[in-house]
Each structure stands twice: as structure tokens, then as C-alpha cells.
Amino acid sequence: MACEVGIGVIGMGWMGTLHSRSYRLVADRYSDAGIRPRLIVCADEVESRAIDGRERFGFERHAQDWRDVLADPNVDVVSVTTPNDRHVEMIQAAVAAKKHVWCEKPVGRSPDETRIIKRAADEAGVMSFVGYCYRWAPLVQYARQFIRDGGLGKLTHYRGSFFCGYGTDPRSVLSWRFQRETAGLGTMGDLLSHVVDMAHNIVGPVRSIVGNSETFIRQRPLASVGEGTHFTTRDEGPKGDVTNEDYVGALVRFEDGAHGTFEACRVIAGPQTRMAFEVHGTNGSISWDFEAMNELRMALSADGRSVREYRRVLSGPEFPDHARFNPGPGVGLGYDDLKVIECHRFLSSVVAGTLGEPSLRQAVDVADVLDAIQRSWESGGWQDVGRH
């Protein structure tokens, strides 16, 4: 018998619509899982977006006040897809109402806010999930297991990066992502959090780190509330100050002895969404880039001899989750499909009553690394990563 799960979504911008679409698709792509999301209510303080969400995705009703979502007894799980400054209040209220939570990253504006949110969820005993969606590319899932099974031997070094040029144009508006009061951290929270989570996913915990940062474009045109996205541009009108960082780089030492680098930038020319990693071990190397997410490059040595060339591996139905979307080798998946996989993992954890990954616990692991990077900005030297 199918298990019905009542859904509420708070924040109906781009990410809220993507969560809503994923809830609708998960019953189709994972029809054998026996999970049936029921879209109860979507909320946005901009009424037109709430109405559009209800009509597009088939929610039973809409609301402007996010508290209406939490007050509905038919809502079992809540997606929180608002700007970061609302997360603490909303998630604390959601878990107090015994709602399971799927939250987009960065969970808090700061590492401390992320820890506060995680403690609230732990005390409430609810399930949580965090939108580190790049984990779910079928070839990333395969690479992770291959490495954990010893396929690369002892890991020696890792390079993780996220170069996303959404802010390269100085006409890009001063959306909430560029403002410390609303977003908290800038590129570090928005992009480097993905880099750190992927490193944890592939290699394991970070022991110590040292980093730097820069804001290259210090003023941007003011944005209109409730209109556009962080890709919107404006040629005229008043400008405001950018109050968080455009760029972050770091040197890394992992717990298992591997070394590496992290780097992220939102104002870089050329790359569009280059979320990538390259990992090396004593038996070879694997690299992956989201801009070609259905390809994996592997250079392996079974006998310990040097390997000079990569071979290209294409995603296909033999890799995790790929066949849920199409049966053909080399027929690629896209970003939205990763969110459907993520949605299924979240709802499966809710139905099973077992905390899955990445949950708020993994978000705190990321926050601990970001905290150490910030401390290195102040000290100018290496910082050990704390554990909370």
C-alpha cells in the first residue's frame, strides 16, 4: 500500500518551484517505492508567486503567511527554500510543529546559525535533508563507492572547485545573495559549501585548512523585491554595496592524510556552473565536472605502474539511479533530475524514520570547515576544524 506524505513548501521562487516539481515527479520516477506525495499548501509573501505555485503544481491551497503551512495538520514535511535570513525562525518553528524538513543550503547565514538549527531538529526528533544535490549524479555516486572500495588505493590529493559566473556582469542586481545581512556568507556559503560537502562525500573529514577571500565587484544595481533571480541584470538606477565575498580559496589537509585545494567564485568569466572535483590516489585518478555531469574521467593502474591517460566513462543504466530516468547509455540526466533523486532520498528517510544523508548533521560538518576558513582569514594561518 502506498504511503501518502503531506507536502508544504515555503518560498516559491526558483528553488521552491523546483522542490514542488520534484515532489510531483518522485511518485513517477520511483513508482515502486510506494511513496505518494500530496501537495497540500505552498506559501510565499508575494501572493502572485504563491498563486502561481498552486496552479502550476496542483497544491490544494496557497498562503502568504508561512506559518499557515506549519499549522496545517495534513502537512508532514516542509521544504524551506527562502533566503537564508529566514531559515532559523522557520526551521525552528517547523521542527517544533513536528514537521520533517528539507532545507536548501547554506542552512544558516553563519556556522553558528547552522548549529542552532541542527540542535532544534535533533531535540524534536524529526528527519532532515539538505540540498547538496551534486552528490546524486549517478557517476558521482559510482565514483564515491569505487573510491571507498579501494579502487584508487590510498588517496593522496583532492581538488574541489565551484566556478559559477552568475555575478560576472557588474549589471547583475544586488539580490539577497550579495548581502551579508540576508545571505550571511557569500560565495563561501552559496558555492563553497557544495565543494566542502562533496569533499566529505568523496574523501572524508577535513583536519585543518587555511584560506583567503576577495570581493571583486563592490557595488551592484538595486533589485526589485519579489522580481527576477540572482541572474537578473539592470542597466540603470541606484546601486548598493556588496557586503560579502565573491571569491574563496583554501589549502586543505584531510584526516586520512590526503592534501588538496578548495576554490569557488561567482564573478569568474568563462565557467558557467563548473562544480568539479579531481581526486588522486596511489592507483589512479578520477575527475568529474557538472558542466559535463554525465561523463566521468578515470585513469587507473591495476599493477601500480604509471598511468598517463584518462578514459571517458559515460553515464548509463548500470550506474545508480540513471535507469529511473532513461534506459539508454549515454542519454544524459540534468540538474532537475538530481533534485528528484534527492527528493526520493528525503521522503524515503521520512517514511522509514531513519535519518539519511546529507542531513543537518552533514550541514554542520560543512559549517565547521567554513568556520575554520573564516578564522584563518583573521589569523592568516592554518586552523584546525572543530567538531560539533
What CATH number does residue 38 fall under? 3.40.50.720
Instruction: Assess whether 224 and 179 both reside in one domain.
Output: yes
- pTM of structure: 0.94
Instruction: Assess whether 121 and 230 both reside in one domain.
Output: no
Closest among 253, 257, 277, 255 to 156, alpha carbons compared: 257
CB 265 within 8 A of CB 163: yes
CA dist 149 and 306 (Å) reads 21
- Fill in the DSSP letter of residue 188: I
Instruction: Assess whether 80 and 181 both reside in one domain.
Output: no
Last residue of a domain, one of 102, 133, 164: 133
Residue 226: strand, helix, or coil: coil
Instruction: Give all strands of the β-sheet with 247-254 in edge-to-edge order.
Output: 311-314, 295-300, 284-289, 274-281, 155-163, 259-265, 247-254, 206-214, 383-384
Give the pLDDT of residue 1.
65
Strand bridging mode 100-103 / 35-43 = unpaired
Burial of 252 (0-12, 13-18, 19+ CB in 10 A): buried
Q: C-alpha distances in angstroms, 163 versus 62, 75, 243, 263, 271?
A: 36, 37, 20, 8, 6
Instruction: Assess whether 291 and 152 both reside in one domain.
Output: yes
Last residue of a domain, one of 99, 133, 167: 133
Q: Which domain holds residue 81?
A: 3-133
The residue ranges of the chain whose pLDDT is under 50 are none
Instruction: Assess whether 105 and 224 both reside in one domain.
Output: no
Instruction: Assess whether 324 and 244 both reside in one domain.
Output: yes
Give the pLDDT of residue 307.
66
220, 226, 230, 232: CA torsion to nearest 10: -70
Q: Which residue has the cell 556568507?
A: 185
CB 21 within 8 A of CB 336: yes
CA dist 144 and 368 (Å) reads 22
Residue 218: strand, helix, or coil: coil
Scored b (16 or more CB within 10 A) or e, 30-69 reads beeeebebbbbbbbbbeeebbbbbbeebebeebbeebebb
CA dist 182 and 85 (Å) reads 5
Instruction: Assess whether 60 and 158 both reside in one domain.
Output: no
Q: What pLDDT digit, counting tens, does each position of 170-187 carry?
A: 999 999 899 999 999 999
Residue 386 lies in a domain: no
Residue 124 lies in a domain: yes
Instruction: Assess whether 144 and 253 both reside in one domain.
Output: yes
Instruction: Assess whether 78 and 224 both reside in one domain.
Output: no
Residue 385 lies in a domain: no
Q: How many domains does the chain have?
A: 2
Give the pLDDT of residue 231.
76
Instruction: Assess whether 7 and 104 both reside in one domain.
Output: yes
Give the pLDDT of residue 303.
63
Closest among 205, 128, 345 to 117, alpha carbons compared: 128
Residue 385: strand, helix, or coil: coil
Residue 388 lies in a domain: no
- 3-state SS of the chain: helix, strand, coil percent to 5? 40, 25, 35
Q: What pLDDT digit, counting tens, does each position of 115-151 carry?
A: 999 999 999 999 999 999 999 999 999 999 999 999 9
Residue 353 lies in a domain: no
Last residue of a domain, one of 133, 154, 171: 133
> Would you mind telling me the total number of residues written for the chain in this entry?
388
CB 296 within 8 A of CB 288: yes
CA dist 314 and 293 (Å) reads 9
Grid cell for residue 209:
585548512
Give the pLDDT of residue 301.
84
Instruction: Assess whether 83 and 181 both reside in one domain.
Output: no
201, 344, 290, 333: CA torsion to nearest 10: 140
Residue 25 lies in a domain: yes
Residue 155 lies in a domain: yes
Instruction: Assess whether 106 and 173 both reside in one domain.
Output: no
Residue 339 lies in a domain: no
Residue 384: strand, helix, or coil: strand
Q: For the domain that residue 145 is a member of, what is the CATH number?
A: 3.30.360.10
Burial of 109 (0-12, 13-18, 19+ CB in 10 A): buried
